[in-house]
A and B are shown apart, each in its own frame.
Chain A
């Protein structure tokens, strides 16, 4: 979500004056001096957010209470307003030392852990302060919060990425039924008092799957077996992000920040523990970013009793699907020890508190012999991907290969793999978006051949491409295929797999100019289509146009900066690229990816045209499908950015 410009944040629309809230004057809520002629005088004494929760003894002073007394009364003690469980957890971890609390924990709590608490206005009139504020509709108050600008402004990274399909394939509630946050989390829950709770799952108003799906429980055999014992999400969620080692501080401008040292996509089943708020025996657990040293910026050894509270906490990932890889077969869970939280998953200083969450060997359900489900048979094109270790070995042997760094020139300069030549994919591979009608289409074969030749790439040379775990490397690798140069591989997991996981060295500095080669272009016209070709092909039987963008983008809720219009091409199938790649840039388990495609009717006998916004996510899908052995995969050149600027776009 791009930040609003300063003037946009405070611009009051004419529409506002047609609403009931305009019956009050500005100064009635905000104070200040409306008679003053200049900004400094006019703003003297102004309260930017008069809906902010004051000290609880003065909660009656919240201006909203004048008319919305009941909502303010409970809302001011709601979880959104107070973040009270955070404080309780911090107290449990800090130990009984008032000085430590006052001097170290409390400043950290205020600046970081509960800084995202929200006022009435943060949900009903502006973006939350945590997301730098700003009116979302010119000061018009909205009864129902805006999912993108308000809910996701705070819940955008974990929940938002899962829900929209920026990680995984998104949530069926959004994809199939266009349900937003409020569909499951209505005002009754948002305004409910959270006093005395140690977990949000203890809130009586929390939504229950059975609230809507009760009638489905009796229909499915697996539901009869698992209901009440296994949390619904265990079977109906995809992998989700786990965060580790949050560290906090203030930058040179005194702005408080926090940063997670590690984020990884996985799936862990634990046991319901005391205070989890879950009634089932087996629940999904997510590693929270809490760290013993999280407040070291404020003072050392603040968390003397850190191991009092589990770091693997009950979770309900917002990436629900009716069919998942886990539910495709009993034995995708049964007998899979690695899916169940074990001692080996725990850090040294978090073992005691997580003991009740861990699943001992005798509690891991045994493999079921009678499971008839068959996994798809997958033969991957293994030469298309290379691991960090294999690349290291090849480089060590001085194998004749050209290594290309597809990240930005700045990232290259900071640290790259030795022998790599830089190629700025974002700037050099495609025509600019404003260059209609070529908007974001790939440069012509001769131009590309000259560019790649300047990197030292020639026909027989093996090329390995890496990026920062994004989709630049697959796009560059696709472009080489487009030129008829198929001898190319992508580094699985990108630079982090090399440097952080394999702990292999990087070098810093500018590149040494490569000896230019002449690369003859032998364009492969079978793997690319322009707008007109896509429009014609869509009508042909056996063709699927696969839109590989996130569900949010596909539905027009979120958009890429280069998009003029939000939305998608008619009669396309949405399956986000991140169903095949982890957010860290690793290709997912090929069996799970193959199953996912087949379960959506995307089979190898069909021609698959992949599209997205600019062609990059589509290249990620193209690469994954080819890796899985799909023979007929075509990329929509320029994708939506080109399409919406072309006559194909229905006005």
Chain B
């Protein structure tokens, strides 16, 4: 399965960048990929830091304006 993923990933446009990173050993330091299975190995990017932290995201969500809506748009087929 992992082999298949790697094969597919090779088709990704960032493959060249990844290959270069692997070659220079930067991948381990940056932790941008190849960390599947170990969340702790992921970099503390803004995205992950916020989107995995319930308290943080709740606090941010409180500042996001949500239109009230009429309630009529919920009709479904």
A interface, CB within 8 angstroms of B = 5-7, 10-14, 17-20, 22-28, 30, 32-37, 39, 42, 66-67, 116, 130-131, 139, 153-160, 251-260
Contact = CB atoms under 8 A, between A and B. Distances in A.
Q: Which 3 residue pairs spanning A and B have beta carbons closest together? A: A251-B70, A257-B72, A257-B73
Given A157-B76, A253-B68, A26 B47 contact: yes
B8 A67 contact: yes
Given A7-B54, A12-B48, A255 B70 contact: yes
A551 B68 CA distance: 33
B61 A17 contact: no
Chain A CB within 10 A, most for which of B38, B50, B51, B61: B51
A138 B32 CA distance: 20
B45 A34 contact: yes
Contacts of A23: 5, 9, 33-36
Contacts, number: 125
B13 interface: yes
Contacts of B1: 20
A154 B76 contact: yes
A26 B52 CA distance: 12
A42 B72 contact: no
Contact of B75 (A26, A30, A35, A257): A257
A157 B75 CA distance: 8
A154 B33 contact: no
A15 to B, nearest CB: 9
B69 interface: yes
B57 A11 contact: yes
Given A10-B51, A67-B8, A257-B75, 5 more contacts: A6-B66, A13-B52, A26-B45, A35-B46, A67-B11
Interface residues of B, number: 40
Interface in B1-53: 1, 5, 8-9, 11-14, 32-39, 42, 45-48, 50-52
A153 to B, nearest CB: 8
Contact of A17 (B5, B9, B42, B70): B42
B63 to A, nearest CB: 8
A22 B35 contact: yes
A254 B70 CA distance: 9
Contacts of A10: 51, 57, 61
B61 A116 contact: no
Which of B12, B70, B72, B73 is most buried by chain A, counting CB atoms within 10 A of its CB? B73
B66 A19 contact: no
Contact of A19 (B14, B33, B36, B72): B36
B12 A255 contact: no
Contacts of A252: 70
